[in-house]
Amino acid sequence: MLSDTTISTVKSTVPLLEEHGLAITQRFYERLFEATPDLKHIFNQANQRDASQSRALADAVVAYASNIDNLEALVPAVQRIANKHASIGVQSHHYPLVGASLLQAIQEVLSLPDGHAALVAWGEAYGLLADIFVQTESKLYSDSAANDGGWEGFRAFKITNIQRETPEVKSFTVKATDGLPATGYAAGQYVAVKLLGKDEKFDQIRQYSLSTWGRGSQASYRITVKCESPGHVSEGLHKYIVGDELLLSAPYGEFTLNKKASKQVFISGGVGITPLFSMLRESIDAGAGQEQLCFIECCRGDEHRI
């Protein structure tokens, strides 16, 4: 637990973080990649070009500081982020590296001297948050590995079928190369994909929703991917052919079907249909009838309808 002094000090930095948050997080990523270039593959480098990842992190830092005395409010965000971390393989030893770069960025941008009370308080606050993430992700890893057909880390899969859905979108059916079944998943969940290759772009990781659903462990998975340009992973994947191999994480994600609802309304845009189509299949499998389901699909035209 954090002391009242630490909580008060962290909350007092909120105005500064709101003003300088983007500069801090941009400097953070510079420092992190300078010190530990091996971590680049964990972060979407495309989002580094337009500062979207820096802005998202800046917002998250402000949210944490604002709710440092009410951590329960952060549980949904922690669960969502922890699932993404688990899919890309974040480990406990990464957190001290990230924390050191973040504190250095705060110190540099805000021109704080060594040992400043704000730095001490943020060091304690970050340590608490890191512990929460490590514990949450450790449980996600162990639960995944314990499932029938489950695993931790990345597992090799072979492409067994490719279906062109639109000029920009393909569906890839994959089976584990070891011939064993893959764990079941909740409709709406995703897998992280890493392509096999020597170019550094293939070390990048992207999450793609599983675009179908079946009860229990699966003989195969299907992902449906739009080719983005430039898109390090999606462009590479669209060049793959049947028989090629790729690496997949186990399924993760918190965006799943609300099974308590008596009626379901699904609204999708373009390739965003993928998790919702999976949820639709689960709803029908659970016995939902036509009068309980409404699915609205938006797209640019007939040729772009998935």
Cα(150)–Cα(163) distance, rounded to whole angstroms? 26
Cα(145)–Cα(201) distance, rounded to whole angstroms? 28
95 catalytic, yes or no? Answer: yes
Q: Which of 29, 64, 137, 221 is catalytic?
A: 137
Q: Which residue has the tokens 């060091």?
A: 123
Listed in sequence order, the residues at least 6 apart from 261 whose beta carbon sits closer than 8 Å to its beta carbon are none
Q: Which of 29, 64, 95, 208 is catalytic?
A: 95
Contact 258, 276 (CB under 8 A): no
190 catalytic, yes or no? Answer: no
Q: Which two tokens stand for residue 76?
A: 């949904």
Written as one string, the DSSP assignment of 172-201 is EEEEETTS--B----TT-EEEEEE--SSGG
- Please report, for residues 11, 100, 133, 211, 234, the alpha-carbon distance to residue 2 in angstroms, rounded to integers and kept in the order given: 12, 19, 16, 43, 43
Contact 30, 120 (CB under 8 A): no
Instruction: Please tell me whether residue 59 adopts helix, strand or coil conformation.
Output: helix
Active site amino acids: 95, 137
